[in-house]
């Protein structure tokens, strides 16, 4: 996954990424930091706070992200991140596995039932020690 330079354009003397909670800190207006493309996509939804430093990075943040996971048969499958925007109950087992990998950096066992996978994801959601990433 590529990095993207994001400039803080707000008015605070110091600010941090409160959107994705990546831990990135900007030291005032005009400060530029490199963040993963998924973080950049989330931050750029707030143009009064963050801006893209290099216009040449627009294609990076415009393309849909893909997540590679292993399905229940042991085959590698690519899941488009747009498929992860629907409710958990409407996702396939492969999509549930990709959701957990993308959001929590956790590998789930696709041999389990969909209900068990959803239960595991809900446990991760309730675990405050797990780092959450935007989906």
Number of other CB atoms surrounding residue 46 within 10 Å? 13
Tokens 């789930």, residue located: 108
Tell whether the model's pLDDT for residue 6 goes beyond 90.
yes
95-118 pLDDT tens trace: 999 898 888 888 999 889 999 999
> Model pTM greater than 0.85?
no
Buried b (16+ CB within 10 A) or exposed e, 87-125: ebeebebbbbbbbbbbbbeeebebebeeeebbebbeebe
Nearest to 114 by CA among 79, 75, 87, 135: 87
């Amino acid at each position: 996954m590529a990095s993207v330079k994001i400039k803080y354009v707000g008015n605070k003397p110091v600010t941090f990424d409160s959107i994705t909670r990546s831990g990135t800190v900007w030291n005032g207006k005009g400060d530029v930091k490199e963040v993963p493309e998924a973080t950049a996509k989330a931050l750029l939804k707030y143009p009064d706070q963050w801006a893209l430093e290099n216009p040449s990075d627009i294609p990076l943040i415009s393309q849909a992200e893909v997540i590679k996971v292993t399905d229940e048969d042991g085959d590698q499958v690519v899941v488009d991140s747009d498929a992860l925007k629907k409710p958990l109950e409407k996702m396939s087992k492969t999509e549930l596995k990709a959701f957990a990998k993308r959001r929590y950096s956790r590998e789930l066992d696709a041999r389990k039932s969909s209900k068990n996978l959803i239960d595991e994801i809900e446990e991760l959601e309730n675990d405050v020690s797990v780092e959450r990433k935007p989906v």
